[in-house]
Amino acid sequence: MQIKSNEGALGGKLIIDLSRVLGGPYCTQILGDHGAEIVKIEPPSGDETRDWGPPFHEGDSAYFIGVNRNKRSMGLDLTRDAGRAVLLRLLEKADVLIENFKPGTMEKWGLGYQEVLKDKFPALIHCRISGFGSDGPWGGFPGYDAIIQAMAGWFSINGEAGSNPTRLGLAAVDMGTGLYSAIAVLMALAEREKSGAGQYLDMTLYDCAVSLMHPHIPNYNFSGKIPGPTGNAHPNISPYDTFRTRTVDIFIGAGNNRAWAKLCQALGRTELIDDARFVNNIDRVNNRGALKDEIEASLQQIDGHEICATLARAGLAVGPIHNTQQVVDHPHTHHRGMSVEQDWYKMTGTPIKFSRTPGAIRHLPPKYGEHSEELLREFGFEDAEITRLLAEKTLLNTRQD
């Protein structure tokens, strides 16, 4: 990932980002990393994740910093008529509007897509991210990552066998929705190249979480059995689990008979290849406990890092279990450009790698309202207008309590 000015694959696209917290900001950071101009509009109190710490850097939380690079920040009070009038002027040049207000909020403000924006800005792509959508049995209800994890079944299949329902340690619903939303925006932009028309994107945390319940929903649909937690073991493949070695725990994934034979050969346990308990994957899944005992009996005599290197060279999927510090410091993390630094900023790089238009850091995460005046000037506002908007606290460059 380059740390310099670079137009990127989305250079020239303007996105007005009204979202806050995680799903929307993660989506717009992805787009911003690849050249889109992101105008982050924050309410008077700011994006609440600025306060979600410790840790902090100069008053902003690491949580906020992690998903808000390559954006410029404007403070704007959209509850005021004058604030909404400013937004409408910005949308005259925008390609995409992204927001995650409670369904009905934009409509209440006279900014609904069907009612106003579709006709006023026919080429605009309006992406709304919400918990459950605006209709249906749960339509309009608030939704947060953990609530959706619980309702979409994620708790029920996470944890050790027999354990209580457990939340995933990542905000994977929010971030997954951010990824789906980025894909949706790109699809809509591609379709607009043909039709010239914008459209409304109805993205929900619930839909995205349900779509990610693989293979558990397919397994249930075709077996009638309700899946439960299996710990680190895979419900459909064995061996695909953590194993203890003499030094560190490692994870091994051997998804077919060929890989299973390679594993047995590398461990000097060729007799297991034709063992009736383990001949095919279905046998290994049905006898996963005995299989784990046999493999660990050999691995516990061996250094984990050495056997990982040996197995990887043999073409097997294997790796040691790392903590966060080990991930950040790992040579491959740095080799892949997944650890970037600029001045005080230290963060993960972009996983999206292009040969001609690599991602770049063009803007460090902004302070609240850092670009309020600068942006309005770029959109053609006169100094007198900007002064008036600041004086009446419609436009802001400092957070309000």
State the pLDDT at residue 53: 96
Torsion of CA 213, 216, 222, 227, to 10 degrees: -140
Return the SS3 of 14: strand
Residues 60 and 195 in one domain: yes
State the pLDDT at residue 401: 85
Beta-carbon contacts of residue 143 (< 8 Å; ≥ 6 apart): 130, 131, 132, 204, 205, 206
Q: How far apart are the first and last CA of the chain?
A: 37
Q: Is residue 1 assigned to a domain?
A: no
- The dihedrals phi and psi of 93, each to the nearest 5 degrees, come to -105, -5
Domain count, the chain: 2
Spatial separation of the C-alpha atoms in residues 317 and 308, rounded to whole Å: 9
Asked which of 280, 296, 320 is the last residue of a domain, the reply is 320
Active site residue 234: yes
Give the mean pLDDT of 94-120. 97
Torsion of CA 66, 67, 70, 75, to 10 degrees: -110
Q: Which two tokens stand for residue 221?
A: 């649909």
Residues 63 and 194 in one domain: yes
Beta-carbon contacts of residue 85 (< 8 Å; ≥ 6 apart): none
- pLDDT of 299 higher than 80: yes
State the pLDDT at residue 303: 95
Beta-carbon contacts of residue 102 (< 8 Å; ≥ 6 apart): 130, 140, 142
The CATH number assigned to the domain holding 392 equals: 3.40.50.10540
Return the SS3 of 128: strand
State the pLDDT at residue 100: 97
Instruction: Residue 241: name the closest of 253, 249, 229 by CA.
Output: 253
- DSSP assignment letter at 9: T
State the pLDDT at residue 7: 83
Chain mean position to CA 333: 18
Is 239 exposed, middle or buried (CB count within 10 Å of its CB: 0-12, 13-18, 19+)? buried
Provide the b/e sequence for 363-373 (b: ≥16 CB within 10 Å).
Answer: bbbbbbbbbbb
DSSP code per residue over 33-74: HTT-EEEEEE-TT--GGGGS-SSEETTEEHHHHTT--S-EEE
Return the SS3 of 95: coil
Is 261 exposed, middle or buried (CB count within 10 Å of its CB: 0-12, 13-18, 19+)? middle
pTM to 2 decimal places:
0.93
Residues 311 and 341 in one domain: no
Q: Is residue 5 assigned to a domain?
A: no
Contact 340, 347 (CB under 8 A): yes
Spatial separation of the C-alpha atoms in residues 200 and 181, rounded to whole Å: 12
Residues 260 and 346 in one domain: no
Residues 276 and 388 in one domain: no
Provide the domain limits for residue 258: 240-244+249-320
Length of the chain: 401
Q: Is residue 401 assigned to a domain?
A: no
- pLDDT of 2 higher than 70: no
Spatial separation of the C-alpha atoms in residues 192 and 125, rounded to whole Å: 9
Contact 319, 308 (CB under 8 A): yes
Residues 101 and 24 in one domain: yes
State the pLDDT at residue 6: 54
Q: Is residue 3 assigned to a domain?
A: no
Spatial separation of the C-alpha atoms in residues 123 and 392, rounded to whole Å: 32
Q: Is residue 180 assigned to a domain?
A: yes
Q: Is residue 152 assigned to a domain?
A: yes
Give the mean pLDDT of 242-259. 95
Question: pLDDT over 70 for what percent of the chain?
Answer: 99
State the pLDDT at residue 181: 98
**Considering just the CA atoms, what is the radius of gyration of the chain in Å?**
25
Asked which of 320, 352, 377 is the last residue of a domain, the reply is 320
Residues 153 and 288 in one domain: no
pLDDT digits (tens, 9 = 90+) for 11-45: 999 999 999 999 999 999 999 999 999 999 999 99
Q: Is residue 8 assigned to a domain?
A: no
State the pLDDT at residue 208: 98
State the pLDDT at residue 330: 95
The CATH number assigned to the domain holding 261 equals: 3.30.1540.10
Spatial separation of the C-alpha atoms in residues 140 and 136, rounded to whole Å: 9
pLDDT digits (tens, 9 = 90+) for 110-152: 999 999 999 999 999 999 999 999 999 999 999 999 999 999 9
Q: Which strands make up the sheet holding 317-320, listed edge to edge?
A: 240-244, 249-253, 317-320
Instruction: Residue 10: name the closest of 40, 38, 46 by CA.
Output: 38
Asked which of 320, 353, 370 is the last residue of a domain, the reply is 320
Give the mean pLDDT of 295-303. 95
Residues 165 and 297 in one domain: no
Chain mean position to CA 350: 12
Residues 187 and 311 in one domain: no
Q: Is residue 217 assigned to a domain?
A: no
Residues 174 and 59 in one domain: yes
Tell me the one-letter amino acid at 114: Q
Residues 307 and 370 in one domain: no
Choose, from 57, 214, 234, 322, the residue flagged as catalytic. Answer: 234
Spatial separation of the C-alpha atoms in residues 159 and 177, rounded to whole Å: 23
Return the SS3 of 251: strand
- pLDDT of 391 higher than 90: yes
Provide the b/e sequence for 119-134 (b: ≥16 CB within 10 Å).
Answer: eebeebbbbbbbbbbe
Spatial separation of the C-alpha atoms in residues 87 and 41, rounded to whole Å: 9
State the pLDDT at residue 108: 97
Residues 20 and 82 in one domain: yes
pLDDT digits (tens, 9 = 90+) for 353-388: 999 999 999 999 999 999 999 999 999 999 999 999
pLDDT digits (tens, 9 = 90+) for 182-205: 999 999 999 999 999 999 999 999
Give the mean pLDDT of 327-342. 96
